[in-house]
Amino acid sequence: MKGRLGCFAVVMGLAAFAIPVGAASIRGTAFPSAPPAGGPRPVATDVVVWLESVPERSEHELALGRRSWFLGRRRTQPKPRIAARHLQFQPRVLVLAVGDTLVIHNEDRVWHGSFSVSPAHEFDLGKLAPGHTERLTFREPGQVQVRCDIHPDMSMNLVVAPNHAFTRPDRAGQWRLPELPEGSYVLHAWAPGLSELRRKVTLPRHGEVAVELRW
């Protein structure tokens, strides 16, 4: 009996260690509008929300992966990935952090040529054969439009965030950032064809702050 109680105490202690102490969260809603120049209206899931900066310790924890409550185990984060499929880049919008490596895989039976002339990160990966993969690491934050030099209709958008404190809304426009220590933060939001929003947020020691994003 004592042995079982001891194991239970260890488990609970580790679980408590995995739960942030003195942390709060920023949540909200996102309502994108039609782009000023016309074109398709972005849906809520096209929006990317991120913080300009976070404490170094918080970024270290987020980069390692979020912890689950049981034994403080970390959930493995999937690598950022673009697929060239049916002559389209999928997904349409992707977010990753500075220093992350993007995987680009050609699932079509034809060749593709991924490139970008975006100021944040210009690149040309050359021709990618069917079934082959390329990898690209981003060192600077910003928005990057990826295109194909063989198929002009193929394009997608990357947001390279300055850290791993980012999120995407669900279909209803609801979003929530990871828990962080109290302090002042600068929140950014962007969607294809729309201007980048910027909001200052003061986070309390406990609880949450709600932010509505409208374009």
**Which pLDDT band holds residue 19 (cuts at 50, 70, 90)?**
very low
What is the pTM for the complete model shown?
0.84
User: How confident is the model over 135-170, as pLDDT tens digits?
Assistant: 999 999 999 999 999 999 999 999 999 999 999 999
What single DSSP character describes residue 109?
S
Residue 184 burial (10 A CB sphere; 0-12, 13-18, 19+): exposed
Region of poorest pLDDT, from 17-26, 31-40, 117-126, 203-212: 17-26
Assign 162 to helix, strand or coil: coil
Closest C-alpha among 192, 188, 162 to residue 175? 188
On the question of pLDDT at 177 being above 60, the answer is yes
Closest C-alpha among 178, 200, 202 to residue 189? 200
pLDDT at 1: 55
* Phi, psi values for residue 30, rounded to 5°: -135, 130
Tell me which amino acid residue 102 is.
L
Chain-centroid distance of CA 16 in Å reads 27
pLDDT at 59: 97
On the question of pLDDT at 16 being above 90, the answer is no
**Which pLDDT band holds residue 102 (cuts at 50, 70, 90)?**
very high
Tell me which amino acid residue 46 is.
D
Q: What is the mean pLDDT of the chain?
A: 88
On the question of pLDDT at 171 being above 80, the answer is yes
- List, edge to edge, every strand of the sheet that includes 81-85: 88-90, 81-85, 101-106, 133-137
Tell me which amino acid residue 136 is.
L
What are the helix (H) ranges across the chain?
2-18, 56-64
All domains of the chain in start order, with CATH:
24-54+165-215 (2.60.40.1120), 77-163 (2.60.40.420)
On the question of pLDDT at 78 being above 90, the answer is no
Check if the beta carbon of residue 172 is closer than 8 Å to that of residue 13.
Answer: no
